[in-house]
């Protein structure tokens, strides 16, 4: 009569009144049920309208209830359900149950059909209750196909994922950001099937960056088959009422969520930014899951949707640095993410700094690359961390210090301890550039000449590009020799946009310096926006660390 957990699997020992081995969806309620008058033997539906399982179908489930109740006729109903193939595959009770169990025994002895019946200890039974996802009327109707086939399939998968996450229920979300528009044959088939089954997004849903610049790919020399299939994938999302945004920085849009909003975003940097900087709430959704959530408007109530899962598990104190530039934030984010690993950190030592949207973007993207945590807190800088104690649940974790050595090591890891070398391509905009970054780059390049052998490419969202064009920054930078791309981002860019002859790529992104070498097969180096602009003019990266990483500027 005990429970045991081994290798992530929990086993219970109880009293079996009929035997068998079954695997099925768990259906639970902490209330007894009369099978006569409470279950329709012709459909398997729970028709007791006062019961929490009302409307549920017992077929292909493992039913866990404390016991039967009410009419003695429940034994006959149980037998009929088994003979009709509409009953539960197994039953779990909290105490010995005579009426329903007799129906199983008679079906077994007379007709050779059965269902395992097991009685567990009360404490074990209550543990099982916690595994079941309580579904709303909308959720149940969706599973029954009332809201269409695409919604039915989406809800079925969401219910399984919710069970896997240990969620007790689903919640409404107000918006989604869809990271599933990255092209592959499988992702195209997935999107088209949902579209063709009548899928429509139930909540406002923006679309992440694509594999291509949708308006320019033909002029850029992209393979026709790739460009056309990417367009086909994008159109499937638009047909389901996705919004034309095509950016990996949805927090820059006018539709950005507010503190406390429950949302469903894909794209790792956006998830970290939303949870941490905006104070919204989203799971670090695997690609495709956020699409299913958008089709239903429902998400598993798990992870950082819950207050208790947003509490800091690690306290990291950043030692002070002087004269920092824009490279400080991605280096710090990557180093700090490596230290945090799976844990949500609360960060001190930065309280008197004033990081901009651009700084937080760079930090979040780098943190999301090296850590699997869904968020961070910065005391006095992020909305949920007015004080250290506020995000620690009353128990401040031991302090870990992050200083010159850790950030210097990270810098040299990014640059492979390189010395001065030639640069062929400057890669900017991972995540998509902000308007402020475009302005800063325009100021850095004003009145200067680009080196003839260096290509400079900036990626940004359409909305930011339009604003930068209105301000004259795009015209100025194009005159310098900068190429702008919208819709796509660096993690999807290949040849011929990356020149075939380009051997060394320089970036200011803590995300792209990590993924870029593997994605492109090129050598990489890293620097601040100012260093990237300088390399665009000289054709070389000096390999020297920035002033703030000189030990004299480490306090």
Q: Which one is catalytic: 71, 262, 408, 418? A: 71
CA 26 to CA 507: how far, in whole Å? 50
**Annotation says 509 is catalytic:** no
Give the DSSP letter of residue 464.
Answer: H
CA 228 to CA 217: how far, in whole Å? 10
Strand order in the sheet with 90-93: 15-18, 117-119, 90-93, 61-64, 25-28
Retrieve residue 271's tokens: 């998830």
Residue 19 burial class via C-beta count within 10 angstroms: exposed 0-12, middle 13-18, buried 19 and up: exposed
CA 376 to CA 277: how far, in whole Å? 9
How many CA atoms lie less than 13 Å away from 258 in the CB half-sphere? 0
Coil vs helix vs strand at 361: helix
For the chain, what's the residue count? 555
Retrieve residue 81's tokens: 């359900």
CA 1 to CA 344: how far, in whole Å? 38
CA 459 to CA 127: how far, in whole Å? 50
CA 184 to CA 280: how far, in whole Å? 30
**Among positive and negative, which fits the CA dihedral 293, 298, 304, 309?**
negative
- Catalytic residues, by residue number, are 71
């Amino acid at each position: 009569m005990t429970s045991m957990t081994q290798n992530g699997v929990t086993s219970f020992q109880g009293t079996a009144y009929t035997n068998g081995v079954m695997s099925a969806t768990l259906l639970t309620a902490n209330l007894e049920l009369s099978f006569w008058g409470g279950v329709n033997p012709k459909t398997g539906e729970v028709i007791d309208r006062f019961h929490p399982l009302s409307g549920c179908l017992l077929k292909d489930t493992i039913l866990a209830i404390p016991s039967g109740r009410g009419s003695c006729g429940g034994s006959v109903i149980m037998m009929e359900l088994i003979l009709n193939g509409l009953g539960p595959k197994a039953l779990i009770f909290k105490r010995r149950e005579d009426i329903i169990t007799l129906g199983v025994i008679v079906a077994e002895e007379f007709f050779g059909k059965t269902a395992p019946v097991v009685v567990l200890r009360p404490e074990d039974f209550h543990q099982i209750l916690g595994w079941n996802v309580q579904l709303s009327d909308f959720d149940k109707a969706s599973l029954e196909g009332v809201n269409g086939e695409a919604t039915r399939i989406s809800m079925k998968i969401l219910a399984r994922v919710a069970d896997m996450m240990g969620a007790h229920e689903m919640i409404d979300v107000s918006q989604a950001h869809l990271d599933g528009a990255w092209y592959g044959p499988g992702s195209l088939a997935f999107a088209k099937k949902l579209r063709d089954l009548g899928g429509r997004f139930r909540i406002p849903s923006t679309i992440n960056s694509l594999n291509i610049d949708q308006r320019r790919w033909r002029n850029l020399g992209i393979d026709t088959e790739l460009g056309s299939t990417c367009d086909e994938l994008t159109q499937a999302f638009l047909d389901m009422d996705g919004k034309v945004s095509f950016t990996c920085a949805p927090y820059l849009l006018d539709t950005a969520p507010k503190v406390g909003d429950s949302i469903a975003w894909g794209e790792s940097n956006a998830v970290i930014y939303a949870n941490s900087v905006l104070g919204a709430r989203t799971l670090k959704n695997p690609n495709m899951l956020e699409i299913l959530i958008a089709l239903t408007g429902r998400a598993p109530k798990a992870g950082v949707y819950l207050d208790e899962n947003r509490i800091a598990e690690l306290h990291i104190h950043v030692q002070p640095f002087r004269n920092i530039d824009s490279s400080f934030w991605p280096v710090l984010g990557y180093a700090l993410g490596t230290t945090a690993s799976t844990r949500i950190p609360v960060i001190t030592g930065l309280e008197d700094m004033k990081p901009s949207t651009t700084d937080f973007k760079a930090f979040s993207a780098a943190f999301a690359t090296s850590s699997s945590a869904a968020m961070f807190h910065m005391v006095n800088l992020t909305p949920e961390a007015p004080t250290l104690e506020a995000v620690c649940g009353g128990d401040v974790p031991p302090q870990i210090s992050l200083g010159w050595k850790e950030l210097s090591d990270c810098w040299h890891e990014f640059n492979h301890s390189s010395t001065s070398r030639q640069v062929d391509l400057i890669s900017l905009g991972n995540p998509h550039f902000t308007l402020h970054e475009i302005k800063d780059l325009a100021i850095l390049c004003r009145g200067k000449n680009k080196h003839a052998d260096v290509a400079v490419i900036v990626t940004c969202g359409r909305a930011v590009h339009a604003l930068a064009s209105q301000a004259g920054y795009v015209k100025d930078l194009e005159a310098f020799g900068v190429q702008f791309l919208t819709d796509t981002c660096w993690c999807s860019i290949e040849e011929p946009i990356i020149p075939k002859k380009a051997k060394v790529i320089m970036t200011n992104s803590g995300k792209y310096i990590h993924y870029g070498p593997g994605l492109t097969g090129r050598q990489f180096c890293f620097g601040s926006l100012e260093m990237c602009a300088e390399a665009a003019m000289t054709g070389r990266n000096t390999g020297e660390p920035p002033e703030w990483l000189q030990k004299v500027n480490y306090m």
